[in-house]
Structure 1
Amino acid sequence: MYAEEEFVERGKFGGEHSQGFGEYSAHTGDPTLDLEYERGYSSYIVPDLIKTFLKDFHTAITEQNLYEIQNYYDNGFNELTDRFFKNSPWPGVEDIAEIVQHDSVFLILYKELYFRHIYARVAAGPSVEQMFESYYNYCDLFNHILNADGPVALELPNQWLWNIIDEFIYQFQSFSQFRSKLSKKDPQEISLLRSNPKIWNVHSVLNVLHSLVEKSNINQQLEVYASGGDPDSVAGDFGRNSLYKMLGYFSLIGLLRLHSLLGDYYQALKVLESIDLNKKTLYSRVPGCQITTYYYVGFVYMMMRRYQDAIRTLSNILLYIQRTKSMFQNKAQLYDQINKQNDQMYTLLNICLVLHPMRIDESVHSQLQDKHQDKRLKMQKGDTLEFQSAFAFACPKFLSPVPPNYDSPLNYHKEPYMLQLRVFMDEVQQHHMLGTIRSYLKLYSTLTLSKLATFMDMTQEELSIALMGFKHKMKNVVWTGGASGLEGEFQSGSEVDFYIDNDMIHIADTQVARRHGDFFVRQIHKFTELNKNLKKLGTKQPR
């Protein structure tokens, strides 16, 4: 269970390093006020429009008006950001505390938005002190939620709850990478990092996510829900509360992401054992969460050499994005994020199909051809630089769970990535000859070892090893059912199979040819039925 002492006490870094929120006041668009801002004046006048927005936002949260909270969160905050604070921070908490009657819960939620905006929009990014303050603010938020005797009286939109978990992990990831880039840091910064080892510590982050999962009983709820039962029967007082239930679910996805970033692919899938990824559930209605889930599951399957499962997972979510993309066009930040993950997943799918060719949905295949045909041809020819480039673009930003050696001037932030790249490129190297072997086997029904060895410019002994490698690499663990993504059985994904008798290779095509006639007949019947239904509807319309 969550323990408050796991977190660092507030204010430990203090002293000359600390900076108050008032120092990060925002530009207003008024030249006079902006000039004061540039000169470093500590006083800051909050525009009346911002005051009104904050008062209304505070009232909506106090009264727990979920519709209004959603509107202020999705629309109001983003519109005012674009108008007043596009590249600068919002007013500091000291400047707005009186406006919202020093409401501690609202100020914690406001600071969550405040720091998220600095990470996303402010060109210079957060300072070390701001990274620390953001961490402390998450401590305050999760302490408030998890250490209460009963469910707290707070309800927030699912999108905001997902963003809290997503941003929490993102900021941990950013800090871990920042901490590992030592060459450009001055001694004062290194001393500050060295003296605060528990801030953004991986154990604290894991502790929060696991505590939210346990508090909500979300795994038990998902198991009962999957069997057709009532989740509330096992939810407990906290789990029946929407805030805890959804934070618990999103924390499972957060754990998937965090374990993937740490390179622990087995554990990444293990935490999702209660989630049936092949069914839509009421827990998966936040598009950003849905897409993030399938991106990491697809990547994990690829790194575990389960290419058929990776291709199936990535194809399903890419088809979903194709059908729903218009829904996100009015939400610029979400749209940009989904576009980036969409491109990354097409790149992952391209890699998987080069290593393990198979049939995929026609619309996804068409998009893949348009975007990645040239890159696929290069990878099929064994271009290792193209594989490296594709992996660098599509992979997550891997992390080390431990602080760097502060006494060394080297940068350590690339070490986790380089380790995963070596593992991936070793696998690519083992696939190097498989495409050529496959192309020859598809041309013949029988072929002597000596003849194929001549074609391949290899000795018969080398060819025998390569053929056994082909057999091995074309066998994957494939998911066949059940909630756990780790379950599955060995299946051959090759379109050709063979056995060797003395010096002769006997080859068989394992793919059953598609019966195109049957396909067209089924489509004609569907069209005829649809036409009949449309005519019936037409006759019922008043003239």
Structure 2
Amino acid sequence: MSDYSDKPADFLFPESVKQWFLQMTTALMGGNSDEMLRLYDKEFATLTSSYFKQSPWPDPDSDAVLSLSDEDPVFLTLYTQIYYRHMFSKLSPTNEFKKASWDNYCAIFEGILDKSLELDVMPSQWLFDIVGEFVYQYQSFCQYRAKGSKTDESMWNTKDVLSYLHRIIKYSNIKAVLAAQDANQPQPEVPSESVKELGYFALICLSRAHVLFGDFFTALCILKPIDFKKRDQLYQKSYSCHVSVYYHMGFAQLMLGDVANAVRSFAKIILQVHRNRAYYSKFADYDQVNKLTEKALSLLMLALYLCPGYTVEEQINALLREKLADKQSAVQKGDISVLSDIFVMAAPKFILPNVQAESEDVSKKATALQLKLFLELVQRHSALPSLHSYVKLYRSIDVEKLARFRGVSVAACLSEIMAFKLKAEALQSDVHFFVSDSIVKVDEQKREQRTGQYYMTQISKLQRVVNSCATSD
């Protein structure tokens, strides 16, 4: 039998894996943020696909990792974070690993807050993934706990999770920074640019956490300091943050009945990803980003059902026809079972933040509650599609006749018309009408000149061809 005692600790590692540890440690110590991003977002995924599909990466406490990293404490703390991130995404972590991941997150946040851990060279994508993965693991733990599984109350409890996010936001001074930007004033003092970005991403992930709770009003209030109409916002530095913030914001707007803004939020990120597929496909998390975009498209379809007459980009309509034609047809008919199925599939995975189930599995109760609230929203909008179709069909129609078509009393029909009238502007309907002497009169149909959009679409198509040619070269 061979004697391994005289072999180096890392002798069983593939050479490319050894080089990853050495290069990442060198990039971290040398302050090379671009190299760190390449090793983190691309090389790590490549090595995972080659060697760690069914197994974890090397243990951070192993002699081999300690040797390859020169026992650098900053590297080991950050590597531990992505070590557990890989484990949560590819494997089934035990309670022991969940506790260890929690402890490592506590070490990261406490280190940032007491200034013992400096992240000045961290790439923006990694900074977002730190807080994004933090909320994801918390979400997973809440779902696990709601299934009646025994858990340790000292880890992943809601109070501590929210406390860390709030403390990072406060320490980063990001709210003052955003306020100064809106007022075109000098930037207030911040601990560092990396901490400022981390605080910004923590603000977005805190909003996401409240969406998971079903607290949509608070979720949107948290995002108020961010001016989404301005270009060059920090969320654009992270492709996954860009998609996540619009998806969760759009969902909160939808559930609060702000359907037109929900459509705009979903459409913005759907078009962004679709028009720049060549760019997004280069990243390791493209599959997750694409999956979230597909969910946004399904939710947009539901939102369009609730606000008939809202005009969207032709590219959006083409994507709906290509990917969801059958479901869209059923939705337009008001099929409640299809509406429910799409909602459950495309909505976030809701959580019961403070529920510890003893034996019964209550993990699905949060989703059931949000589905109930959504169907109530559908009920409140149920008359709109039918009314919109009649108003589009006629130049004028008697209210009594319209009531017969609708199968309701004249008084009920008049109430529906008034409700539609009130919502038409908010929903930006493509028709305008008024009621006079019990006659519904359509006095105009809104038509928008879309020449500019046509050229923008063609330019986008040309850019995709150029990118495709560049990639093939």
* TM-score greater than 0.5 by the shorter chain: yes
Alignment match of 2:118 (pick from 116, 141, 152): 152
Equivalent of 1:495 in 431, 436, 449: 431
Q: Distance in 2 between matches of 1:335 and 1:317?
A: 14
Counterpart of 1:294, as a letter, is Y
Q: Does 1:235 align with 2:189?
A: yes
Distance in 2 between the 1:338 and 1:159 partners?
A: 13
Paired letter, 2:99? F
CA distance, structure 2, for counterparts of residue 393 and residue 509 of structure 1: 41
CA pair 336-400 structure 1, distance change in 2 beyond 3 A = same
Task: Provide the secondary structure at the position in 1 that maps to 2:435.
Answer: strand
Partner of 1:482: none
Deviation at 1:475, TM superposition (A): 5.4
Partner SS, residue 497 of structure 1: strand
| Residue 53 of structure 2 is aligned to residue 86 of structure 1 | yes
- Are 1:307 and 2:259 counterparts? yes
| 1:203 is aligned to 2:159 | yes
Look up the SS of the partner of 2:61 in the other structure: helix
Aligned pairs (5 A) from 1:288-307: 288-307=240-259
1:505 paired residue number: 439
Query: Which of residues 399, 408, 411 is equivalent to 1:458?
Result: 408
**Given the two structures, how large is their TM-score scaled by the length of structure 2?**
0.87
Q: How does 1:116-127 map to 2 (within 5 A)?
A: 116-122=85-91, 125-127=92-94
Q: 1:56 to 1:455 in 2, by over 3 A?
A: closer
Using the alignment, how far apart are the partners of 2:47 and 2:227 within structure 1?
Answer: 39
Q: Deviations over 1:301-357 (max 9, x none)?
A: 1111111111122222222112211012233x4210121112111111111111102
Q: How many residues align?
A: 446
Work out which of the residue numbers 79, 82, 85 in structure 2 matches 1:113.
Answer: 82
Change (3 A) 1:152 1:463: same
Pair 1:395 & 2:347 matched: yes
Structure 1 residue 523: deviation in Å? 8.4
- How big is each residue's C-alpha offset from its partner over 1:495-536, in whole Å with a ceiling of 9 and x where there is no partner? 2422253xx2232244334568xx59x989xx9xxxxxxxxx
Q: Tell me the amino acid that sits aligned with residue 355 of structure 1.
A: L
Counterpart amino acid of residue 401 in structure 1 = P
5 Å matches for 1:256-405? 256-283=207-234, 284-331=236-283, 333-357=284-308, 358-405=310-357
Q: Per the alignment, in what secondary structure is the counterpart of residue 506 of structure 1? A: strand
Structure 2 residue aligned with 1:430: 380
Question: CA offsets, 1:394-428, max 9 Å, x none?
Answer: 1101111103242xx21111111111100000111
2:183 & 2:444 partners in 1: Cα distance?
36
Counterpart Cα distance in 1 of 2:214 and 2:413:
34
Max radius of gyration: which structure? Answer: 1
- The amino acid of 2:360's aligned partner reads L
Segments of structure 2 that go 5 or more residues without pairing to the other structure are 459-473
In the TM superposition, residue 110 of structure 1 has moved relative to its aligned partner by: 1.2
Residue-by-residue CA offset, 1:133-174 (whole Å, 9 max, x unaligned): 10111001111111227x836421111111111111110011
Q: In 1, distance between residues paired with 2:422 and 2:94? A: 51
Q: Which residue of 1 is the match for residue 462 of structure 2?
A: none
1:415 maps to what in 2?
365
Q: Which amino acid aligns with 1:324?
A: N
What secondary structure, in the 3-state scheme, does the structure 1 residue paired with 2:58 have?
A: coil
**Deviation readout 1:228-283 (Å, 9 max, x if unpaired):** 3332xx124x0xx1220110111111112111111111111111112111222251
Query: Structure 1 475/57 Cα, relative in aligned 2: closer, same or farther at 3 Å?
Result: same
Residue 64 of structure 1: aligned partner: 31
Q: Does 1:177 align with 2:143?
A: yes
Amino acid at match of 1:235: E
- 2:342 maps to a residue whose letter is A
Q: CA RMSD in A?
A: 2.7
Please list every run of 5 or more consecutive structure 1 residues that lacks an aligned counterpart in the other structure: 1-31, 37-42, 477-490, 528-543
Instruction: Find the aligned partners of 2:277 and 2:140 in 1 and give their Cα distance.
Output: 28
CA gap of 1:443–1:85, structure 2 versus 1, over 3 A, is closer
What is the distance in 1 between the residues matched to 2:332 and 2:221? Answer: 33
Q: Is the partner of 1:397 in helix, strand or coil?
A: coil
User: Conserved in 1, the CA contact under 8 Å of 2:431 and 2:446?
Assistant: no
What is the identity, as a one-letter code, of the residue corresponding to 2:237? R
TM superposition shift of 1:385: 0.8
Structure-2 change in CA distance of 1:511 and 1:467 (3 Å)? same
Give me the whole-angstrom Cα distance separating, in 2, the residues matched to 1:86 and 1:105: 26
Aligned partner of residue 454 in structure 1, secondary structure: helix
Which residue identity does 2:121 align to in structure 1?
Answer: E
Structure 1 residue 393 displacement after superposition? 1.6
Report runs of 4+ in structure 1 exceeding 4 Å deviation.
43-46
Paired position in structure 2 for 1:161: 127
The aligned amino acid for 1:70 is L
Could you tell me how far apart the structure 2 residues matched to 1:430 and 1:268 are?
23
Aligned residue for 2:57, secondary structure, equals coil
Q: Which of 471, 496, 500 lines up with 2:421 in the alignment? A: 471
Contact 1:46–1:91 (CA under 8 A) maintained in structure 2: no
- Tell me the SS of whatever aligns to 1:68: helix
* Aligned amino acid, residue 447 of structure 1: I
CA contact (8 A) 2:60 2:66 kept: yes
Query: Secondary structure in 1 aligned to 2:445?
Result: coil
